Amino acid sequence: MGIWDKIKGEFIDIIEWTDDTTDTMVYRFERHNNEIKYGAKLTVRESQVAVFVDEGQFADVFQPGMFTLETANLPILSTLKGWKYGFNSPFKSEVYFVNTKRFNNLKWGTMNPIMMRDADFGMVRVRAFGTYAMRVKDAKVFLKEVVGTNWQFTTEEISDQVRNQIVSGFAEAVAKAALPVLDLYSHYDTMGDNLAELMQAKMDAIGIELLDLVVENVSVPPEVEQAIDTRSKMGAVGNLDNFMKFQAGEAMVKGAENPSGAGAIGAQMAAGMMMGQQVSQSMQQPASPPAAPSAATPPPVPQAPQYHVAIGGQQHGPFTLDVLQQMTGDGRLSRETLVWTTGMAGWEKAETVLSTLFAAVPPPIPPAE
The string of pLDDT tens digits covering residues 26-52 is: 999 987 666 888 888 999 999 999 999
Neighbours of 96 (CB within 10 A): 25
Mean pLDDT for the stretch of residues 195-209: 89
Helix (H) / strand (E) element for 348: namely: strand 348-349
> Does the structure show a pLDDT above 70 at 189?
yes
Lowest mean pLDDT among 37-46, 61-70, 82-91, 111-120: 82-91
Mean pLDDT for the stretch of residues 194-200: 85
pLDDT at 168: 84
> Does the structure show a pLDDT above 60 at 294?
no
Helix (H) / strand (E) element for 35: namely: strand 35-36
pLDDT at 79: 82
Residue type at 344 in one-letter notation: M
pLDDT band at 230; cut points 50, 70, 90: confident
pLDDT band at 295; cut points 50, 70, 90: low
CA angle at residue 261 from 259 to 263, to 5 degrees?
Answer: 75
233 CA to centre of own chain: 17
Kindly state the percentage of the chain with pLDDT values over 70: 74
Residues 6+ apart with CB under 8 A from 143: 26, 51, 53, 58, 96, 98, 207
Mean pLDDT for the stretch of residues 216-240: 72
Most trustworthy range by pLDDT among 129-143, 261-275, 297-311: 129-143
pLDDT at 8: 44
**pLDDT for 302-358, tens place per residue?**
677 888 888 888 888 888 888 888 888 788 888 888 988 887 888 888 888 888 877
Mean pLDDT for the stretch of residues 111-125: 79
Q: CA-CA distance, 127 to 129, in Å (whole number)?
A: 7
**pLDDT for 239-261, tens place per residue?**
666 667 666 776 766 666 665 55
SS (H, E, C) 114-168: EEEEECCCEEEEEEEEEEEEEEECCHHHHHHHHHCCCCEEECHHHHHHHHHHHHH
Domain ranges of the chain: 3-99, 103-224, 307-358
Strands 208-219 and 307-311 come out as unpaired
pLDDT at 16: 93
The three-class DSSP label of residue 27 is strand
pLDDT at 178: 72
DSSP letter at 211 equals E
From residue 219, how far is each of 63, 67, 109 by CA, in Å?
44, 53, 11
Residue type at 333 in one-letter notation: L
Lowest mean pLDDT among 19-28, 134-143, 195-204, 352-361: 352-361
Most trustworthy range by pLDDT among 115-119, 208-212, 220-224, 233-237: 208-212
pLDDT band at 289; cut points 50, 70, 90: low
Q: CA-CA distance, 196 to 210, in Å (whole number)?
A: 7
Strands 103-109 and 57-62 come out as unpaired
265 CA to centre of own chain: 42
CA dihedral in degrees (331, 332, 335, 340; nearest 10)? -160
- DSSP string spanning 71-113? GGG-HHHHHHHT-SS---S-EE-EEEEEE-S-EEEEEEE-SSP
pLDDT at 23: 93
Position with higher pLDDT, 31 vs 170 = 170
State the chain's mean pLDDT as an integer: 79
pLDDT band at 6; cut points 50, 70, 90: very low
CATH topology of domain 307-358: Dna Ligase; domain 1 (3.30.1490)
Q: CA-CA distance, 220 to 125, in Å (whole number)?
A: 6
Residue type at 121 in one-letter notation: F
What is 103-224's CATH number, 1.25.40.80, 3.40.50.970, 3.30.479.30, 1.10.630.10? Answer: 3.30.479.30
